[in-house]
């Protein structure tokens, strides 16, 4: 961890939580020292230096206990599956990746697809910016869904054949698959719109495809539905929704040996991994 990241972590600590932890630690240490001072007064003639040391020690322990974490993980008792939530880069993860998509599977960078988005990074990083190759593979993967497509006559930019929310395409090889999951509707003004129901439905379809095509290998997923999807749901809520849907699917039938929910570093202030750890403790049974 570099110095800049360390100080960024320090500034992200919530003062109210830090104060509560500090008070608890200081009070607990004082509770043990006070009786000892009655029986061994000559050992505890510390004065202000001792009090300052106790204060500093309690504060350091409180800071250490409240530093934001980079990852938390828990295992399900049945099936044998691990769920991890971590700060990192989706494309650095091993195994299969989930790539969120809109209902027309747009790929054009710029006004249609933001280059910094997961879809944009997928095109530039995995396909080296070769949009024609990606579109050709998407068209092949869409063949089984042709009966469900509907033409959008008013869409001026990007693609205009709409597919049902939840449509999930499988690209790549057996060792490294990319699951393109349509979780939102690309409106004619080029704004993606989605809802909690859309996210849940799309995730249910996604896990079914992962079960069928993933061969049990690890799967990593970003927080789909955040940023440009305009679901009005916080990243914490979306993360929990992803985990709940995965557990529900896993209890039905085995999906994968490990699911990793990846949160980009720029978004780490919008999530609390301590709270998510408590959430995993309560739901991973």
Q: What pLDDT score does 45 carry?
A: 65
Reduced to 3 states (helix: H, G, I; strand: E, B; else coil), residue 152 is: coil
How many whole angstroms separate alpha carbon 162 and alpha carbon 184? Answer: 11
Residue 228: is its pLDDT beyond 60? no
Q: Who wins on pLDDT, 272 or 247?
A: 247
135: which residues sit within 8 A by CB, 6+ positions away? 107
Q: What pLDDT score does 274 carry?
A: 83
Dihedral of CA 281/282/283/284: which sign?
positive
Query: Can you give the residue ranges of every domain in the chain?
Result: 3-66, 71-283
Range among 168-172, 224-228, 264-268 with highest mean pLDDT value? 168-172
Tell me what percent of the residues of the chain surpass a pLDDT of 90: 59
| Residue whose token pair is 């050992």 | 43
Q: What pLDDT score does 5 carry?
A: 54
pLDDT per position as a tens digit, 34-84: 666 566 666 666 666 777 888 888 888 888 777 777 899 999 988 889 999
Average of per-residue pLDDT across 150-157: 88
| Residue whose token pair is 């079960």 | 211
Q: Can you name the CATH fold of 71-283?
A: 3.40.220
Q: Among 17-31, 113-127, 257-271, where is mean pLDDT lowest?
A: 17-31
At 132, is the pLDDT very low, low, confident or very high (cuts 50, 70, 90)? Answer: very high
Q: At what angle do helices 235-252 and 273-283 cross, to 10 degrees?
A: 20
How many whole angstroms separate alpha carbon 81 and alpha carbon 76? Answer: 5
How many whole angstroms separate alpha carbon 221 and alpha carbon 128? Answer: 21
Structure token pair of residue 133: 């190759």
How many whole angstroms separate alpha carbon 202 and alpha carbon 35? Answer: 61
17: which residues sit within 8 A by CB, 6+ positions away? 66
Q: What pLDDT score does 283 carry?
A: 92
Structure token pair of residue 280: 């995993």
State the pTM of this model.
0.82
Q: What pLDDT score does 271 carry?
A: 87
Measure the CA angle with vertex 201, ends 198 and 206; round to 5°: 120
Q: What pLDDT score does 235 carry?
A: 92
How many whole angstroms separate alpha carbon 200 and alpha carbon 246? Answer: 10
Average of per-residue pLDDT across 248-261: 96
Residue 177: is its pLDDT beyond 80? yes
Reduced to 3 states (helix: H, G, I; strand: E, B; else coil), residue 82 is: strand
């Amino acid at each position: 961890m570099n110095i800049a990241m360390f100080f960024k972590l320090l500034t992200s600590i919530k003062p109210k939580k830090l104060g509560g932890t500090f008070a608890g630690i200081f009070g607990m240490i004082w509770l043990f020292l006070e009786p000892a001072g009655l029986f061994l007064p000559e050992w505890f003639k510390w004065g202000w230096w001792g009090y300052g040391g106790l204060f500093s020690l309690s504060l350091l322990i409180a800071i250490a206990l409240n530093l934001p974490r980079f990852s938390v993980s828990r295992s399900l008792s049945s099936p044998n599956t691990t769920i991890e939530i971590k700060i990192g880069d989706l494309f650095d993860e091993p195994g299969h990746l989930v790539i969120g998509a809109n209902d027309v599977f747009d790929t054009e960078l710029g006004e249609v697809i933001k280059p910094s988005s997961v879809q944009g990074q997928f095109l530039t990083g995995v396909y080296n910016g070769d949009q024609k190759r990606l579109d050709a593979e998407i068209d092949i993967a869409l063949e089984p869904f042709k009966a469900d497509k509907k033409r959008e006559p008013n869409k001026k930019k990007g693609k205009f054949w709409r597919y049902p929310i939840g449509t999930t395409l499988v690209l790549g090889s057996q060792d490294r698959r990319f699951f393109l999951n349509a979780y939102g509707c690309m409106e004619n003004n080029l704004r993606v719109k989605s809802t909690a129901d859309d996210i849940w439905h799309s995730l249910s379809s996604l896990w079914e495809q992962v079960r069928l095509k993933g061969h049990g290998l690890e799967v990593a997923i970003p927080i789909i539905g955040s940023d440009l999807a305009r679901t009005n749901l916080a990243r914490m809520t979306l993360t929990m929704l992803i985990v709940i849907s995965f557990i529900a699917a896993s209890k039905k039938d085995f999906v994968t040996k490990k699911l990793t929910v990846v949160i980009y570093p720029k978004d780490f202030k919008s999530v609390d991994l301590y709270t998510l750890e408590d959430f995993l403790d309560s739901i991973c049974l």
